[in-house]
A and B are shown apart, each in its own frame.
Chain A
Amino acid sequence: MAAHLSSGRVNLTALREAGRRELRQFLDKCAGSKAIVWDEYLTGPFGLIAQYSLLKEHEVEKMVTLKPGRLPQADVKNVIFFVRPKLELMDIITDNVLREDRGRSPQRDFHILFVPRRSLLCEQWLKEQGVLGSFIHREQYSLDLIPVDGDLLSMESESAFKECYLESDQTSLYHAAKGLMTLQALYGTIPQIFGKGECARHVANMMIRMKREFPGSQNSIFPVFDTLLLLDRNVDLLTPLATQLTYEGLIDEIYGIQNTSEDFFDNLTVEQEFMSGIDTDKANNYIEDCIAQKHPLIKILRLVCLQSVCNSGLKQKVLDHYKREILQTYGYEHILTLNNLEKAGLLKLQTSGRNNYPTIRKTLRLWMDDVNEQNPNDISYVYSGYAPLSVRLAQLLARPGWRSIEEVLKMLPGPHFEERQQLPTGLQKKRQHGENRVTLVFFLGGVTYAEIAALRFLSQMEDGGTEYVIATTKLINGTSWIKSLMEKLEPAPF
């Protein structure tokens, strides 16, 4: 079962095992038969850690979803709530507990497992409702980085990008840092940290501070990772917007979409034109046609954002034109979404008066005309000729290093930096001849399947020199990503 997790260069089974161990310990604490009441949001991430069979082994007999009202009857000794520390959920729990029939026999014991953190506030809230005392065990289960595949870790945090870039809320960054500390406890201190972006800087700072605050955590594990590369999503806004052309990426994109193959190719053509710098400075006919035919708004938003990013922002006239057409066709309330996209840097005015994108594209060789999809020799195959900027940065970091692209790095948002962490003597890594370095690339704000494919491609290149393990706040595609930035609107009343 764990085969896929141990298939990579780094055996991530240990991480999952640690997660399972913690879960088992908690379940055993609540001795006897149990029912689990799930916060629906958590079932996905938990499913990556443990199957029902594991839960059954620890006497979990029933599982239900958290909702208001009376809890189902189940004849179990314990009822355990698995929830995120959110006040709305505390209200539901309170309702459940208050409706519990105290006359029933045998009485059921209540427990709470907060994921990923306990919250004094939530507990205070429960106390005020008069139910805090009903819980025997109140603990936290730190589910930060979950192994999804042998070389892939995810925090499954859908709102991370929005929180970081729109709301300046660094909670998810904090959890990222915590996850990295857990990783280092299992796999050794990572000696080198590189980063690009504001969020990357924050995470690195937090890691360093956390290390200082827990001096006892200096462990004697031989470091598995040579390098950590922290990347802000907004360093490369382009990649998630483009339609992915790897098998997995395509499935991820297409599933649920109803466009015809003709339309798909038209869409793709426009995307590729933008990415190669063609006509990014004027209103695009295809986009206007799609608006006129009232294609799904997300499709429109992806395309206009793609154009904006490839043009370093749109000229006032073009931006106003698109905005007007969108608002007139889909409704004025979408002004709020457009505002979010602007804040995130996806759809904005060209302020500097010049378009940096062609320079970035040329210097980093993002657009390869002669791509061979059958026998690719460059990562650009994942978008049929376009190399993801983020992966190019990782590639260049390994060889020849970022010093060679200082100028271009300055054109991308956020600081870039390097930190070194002290390893206890004797643990300095001595690499064998021909042995590859291992780099952990952490995408703060989401990563696409195409980027994963590109990094895997680099890993298995002969004489590549580096193998990659990928971490992210969430696996995203252009649609899910834009959706997370859209303002939640009430449906129009009829």
Chain B
Amino acid sequence: MSRARADEEEYWHSSKFRAFTFDDEDDELSQLKESKRAVNSLRDIVDDDDDDDDLERVSWSGEPVGRRNRLPSFQSLSNALSDTGVKNYAPELRRPKAEYKDYSSDWSPKDTVKRMQRGKVLIFLKRTLRREILFRELEVRQVALCHLIHFLKETGEQKLLLDLLRFLDRTEEVALSQYREHLNIQDVEKRREFLKGCIGLPFSAEDTSHIQDHYTLLERQIIIEANDRHLETAGQSEIFRKYPRKASILNMPLVTTLFYSCFYHYTEAEGTFSSPTNLKKTFKIPDKQYVLTALAARAKLRAWDDVDALLTTKNWLGYTKKKAPIGFHRVVEILQRNNAPVQVLQEYVRLVEDVETRLNLATKYKCHDVVIETYRDLKDRIQLTAYKCKVERGSAEEQNINSILNNTQIRWKN
């Protein structure tokens, strides 16, 4: 220990720039002497500079102080400091790095502030009374401030960083900085606890609701995960037998969780945590997103009836109508990707509003009836005739085409 101290002393005495040193072990008087020496030596360095006109000499009373009542002499220090333009007890903070006249090596901000640490200025920081003095001085020293913040982030001095940011009224940064820590917590229960603690932090209004959602989501996921793992091992549930889970739901995004829920828990009542409708309600998932996700999940399971039900709405007269908040061409895409049979696909291709898109999709996916209907509606005899070669000879579709072509009531456009 003393060897390290000796090395450090040597380092500091050999370096041109000195920092405050506060040796805890020394008694107050010699401590003050050391500080006085440090400050006086600064004066020499300061004198080297012809550039700095705004520097003032710091007078130093040097009165002995008891451990408990530091106030008198530190009051005078702080008074002196608050008057001067340039704070010169922590030379590394004195001017931006680029303004140093002579240095054999250049300090990055990390270097700069780590030197502060070497000079035990960090101990200075950790003593609340002096910390406030430093914070106050830093407030007007933007560059030094940035250096310090960067340093505190790098070295994980979280508490100090948050204190500083709070002092500067950068409360949102405090909140986000704290929230970021959750990424370092692997244990999911601990993470949940941590997120709960984040909710009260001074986020912006919108961000607060997101953090709240994050916590709620993880809480739910933990419950779902526990239940489902149980179901899986019990081996009684068909869906889990047929489609064993490839991954845990923990820490997945909300939409992924919804997909999972639509896949494994579709028919559950709203009361359970794992039901899709519960998720929709709790997280206020918009219709569009909900339908899209549920559609993808049911299509994957080839549950065409569920798909149908999703896209059917009943109006007040009891009439049902097919409606898709995402556009039927998207519906078709999703179904096709999941190898929906042509009869199912055809239903929805038929509902695509844009004629050209409808024709493209119908032709692409061999939904012959739709193609035929569309050409008929367009009264396009040429295209319809041409399409005959795309259908099987003697098939019902061919017959259909023929009967339409022979229909004398149609006013063909070509």
Contact A169 B180 (CB under 8 A): no
Residues of A within 8 A of B213 (CB): 327, 332
Kindly state the separation between the CA atoms of A330 and B255 in the bound complex, as whole angstroms.
Answer: 8
Say how far B11's CB is from chain A's closest CB, in angstroms: 6
Task: For the complex, give the distance between the alpha carbons of A489 and B109 in Å.
Answer: 24
A259 within 8 A of B: no
Pairwise interchain contact B180-A487, C-beta atoms closer than 8 A: yes
Asked if A127 is at the interface (CB within 8 A of a chain B CB), the reply is yes
A256 at the interface (CB under 8 A from B): no
Cβ B248 vs Cβ A118 within 8 A: no
| Contact present for B11 and A124 (CB under 8 Å) | yes
Q: Which residue of A lies closest to B289 (CB)?
A: A292
- The distance in angstroms between the C-alpha atoms of A120 and B7, with both chains bound, is 14
In Å, the complex CA distance between A494 and B101 comes to: 53
Say yes or no for B97: interface residue by CB 8 A criterion. yes
Residue contact A329 to B180, C-beta cutoff 8 Å: no
Contact between A168 and B142 (Cβ–Cβ < 8 Å)? yes
Which residues 156-201 of B sit at the A interface, judged by CB distance below 8 A? 176, 179-180, 182-184, 186, 188
Asked if residues B253 and A329 are in contact (CB atoms below 8 Å), the reply is: yes
Flag if A127 contacts B253 (CB, 8 Å).
no
Report if B6 contacts A (CB, 8 A): no
Contact present for B251 and A493 (CB under 8 Å): yes
**CA gap between A87 and B150 in the complex, in Å:** 15
**Interface segment out of the listed B110-118, B266-274, B406-414:** B110-118
Q: Tell me the A143-170 residues at the B interface (CB within 8 Å).
A: 167-170
Q: Does A1 sit within 8 A of B, measured CB to CB? A: no
Chain A residues numbered 186-212 whose CB sits less than 8 Å from any CB in chain B:
202, 205-206, 209
Residues of chain B within 8 A (CB-CB) of A289 are 330
Closest Cβ neighbor of B186 among chain A residues:
A493
Q: Is the CB of A327 within 8 A of B105?
A: no
CA distance A335 to B210 in the complex (A): 8
Give bound CA distance, A333 to B207, whole Å: 11
Query: Which chain A residues border B292 with CB–CB below 8 Å?
Result: 292
Task: Scan B100-138; emit 1 where CB is below 8 A from any A CB, else 0.
Answer: 010011111111001100100000000000000000000
Which of A87, A174, A335, A487 has the most chain B CB atoms closer than 10 A to its own CB?
A: A335
Q: Given known contacts A174-B97, A332-B213, A492-B250, is B146 in contact with A168 (CB within 8 Å)?
A: yes
Contact A128-B4, Cβ < 8 Å, known A209-B98, A493-B251: yes
Q: Are A127 and B7 within 8 A (Cβ)?
A: yes
Set of chain A residues within 8 Å of B214, measured between Cβ atoms: 332-333
Determine the interface band of chain A, counting residues with CB < 8 A from chain B: 35 or more
The answer to whether A471 has its CB under 8 Å from any CB of chain B is no
A121 interface hit (Cβ, 8 Å): yes
- The answer to whether A121 touches B326, judged by C-beta atoms less than 8 angstroms apart, is no
A292-B97 in contact (CB<8A): no
Q: Are B251 and A213 in contact (CB under 8 A)?
A: no
Q: A127-B7, A209-B99 are in contact. Are A332 and B111 (CB under 8 A)?
A: no
A168 to B150, CA, bound (A): 9
A11 near B: Cβ within 8 Å? no
Least Cβ–Cβ distance between A332 and chain B, in angstroms? 4
CA distance A171 to B147 in the complex (A): 10
B81 at the interface (CB under 8 A from A): no
Highest count of chain B CB atoms <10 Å: which of A140, A206, A325, A493: A493
Query: B107 is contacted by which of A120, A332, A333 (Cβ under 8 Å)?
Result: A120
Bound-complex Cα distance A170 to B107 (A): 11
Residue of A nearest to B246 (CB): A494
How far is A167 from B149 in the complex, measured between Cα atoms in Å? Answer: 9
Is B85's CB within 8 Å of the partner chain A? Answer: no
Interface of chain B, main secondary structure: helix
**How far is A272 from B51 in the complex, measured between Cα atoms in Å?**
52
A177 at the interface (CB under 8 A from B): yes
Task: Kindly state the separation between the CA atoms of A168 and B153 in the bound complex, as whole angstroms.
Answer: 13
Chain B proximity of A117: nearest CB distance (Å): 5
Most interface-central of A121, A124, A209, A487 (chain B CB within 10 A): A121
Residue of A171, A329, A333, A487 with most partner-chain B CB within 10 A: A171
The answer to whether residues A328 and B253 also contact, given A119-B105, A168-B142 and a CB cut-off of 8 A, is yes
The reply on B217 being an interface residue by CB < 8 A is yes
Q: Does A24 contact B (CB under 8 A)?
A: no
A332 & B180 in contact (Cβ 8 Å cutoff): no
In this complex, what residue of A is CB-closest to B100? A213
In the complex, what residues of B have CB within 8 A of residue A333's CB?
A: 182-183, 214
Q: Are B285 and A170 in contact (CB under 8 A)?
A: no
Contact of A169 among B15, B150, B285 (CB under 8 A): B150
Of A292, A335, A494, which contacts B176 at CB under 8 A?
A335
Q: How far is the CA of A331 from the CA of B251 in the complex (A)?
A: 8
A206 to B99, CA, bound (A): 8
- Complex contact A171–B179 (CB within 8 A): no
Q: A121-B115, A167-B146, A167-B150 are in contact. Are A330 and B253 (CB under 8 A)?
A: yes
In the assembled complex, how far is the CB of residue A317 from the closest CB belonging to chain B, in whole angstroms? Answer: 11
Interchain CB contact under 8 A, B250 and A493: yes
Which residues of chain B (273-317) have a CB below 8 Å from chain A? 283, 285, 288-289, 292
Cβ B98 vs Cβ A206 within 8 A: yes
Whether the pair A328, B285 counts as a contact (CB closer than 8 A) is yes
Pick the contact of B98: A127, A177, A335 (CB < 8 A). Answer: A177
Tell yes or no: B29 within 8 A of A by CB. Answer: no
> Could you say which residues of chain A place their CB within 8 Å of the CB of B344?
none
Is A320 interfacial (CB 8 A cutoff)? Answer: yes
Give Cα A205–Cα B143 distance, bound, in whole angstroms. 15
Cα separation A87 to B108 with both chains bound (whole Å):
12
CB-CB nearest in chain A for B258: A328
Q: In whole angstroms, how far apart are the Cα atoms of A475 and B123 in the complex? A: 42
Instruction: Please determine whether B176 and A336 come into contact, CB atoms closer than 8 angstroms.
Output: yes
A324 neighbours in B (Cβ, 8 Å)? 210
* B62 cross-chain contacts in A, Cβ below 8 A: none
Taking the closest CB of chain A, its distance from the CB of B256, in whole angstroms, is 8
* Cα–Cα, bound, A294→B252 (Å): 13
Cα A177 to Cα B143 in complex, Å, equals 17
Is residue B254 contacting chain A, with contact meaning CB distance below 8 A? yes
A339 contacts B253, CB within 8 Å? no
Interface residues of B (CB under 8 A from A): 4, 7, 11, 15, 96-99, 101, 104-111, 114-115, 118, 142-143, 146-147, 149-150, 176, 179-180, 182-184, 186, 188, 206-207, 210-211, 213-214, 217, 247-248, 250-255, 283, 285, 288-289, 292, 326, 330
12 contacts between A and B (CB under 8 A): A120-B104, A121-B114, A169-B147, A170-B96, A206-B98, A289-B330, A292-B326, A327-B213, A329-B254, A331-B252, A335-B211, A492-B250
Q: Considering the complex of A and B, which 4 residue pairs feature the smallest CB-CB distances, nearest first?
A: A332-B214, A168-B146, A492-B251, A118-B105
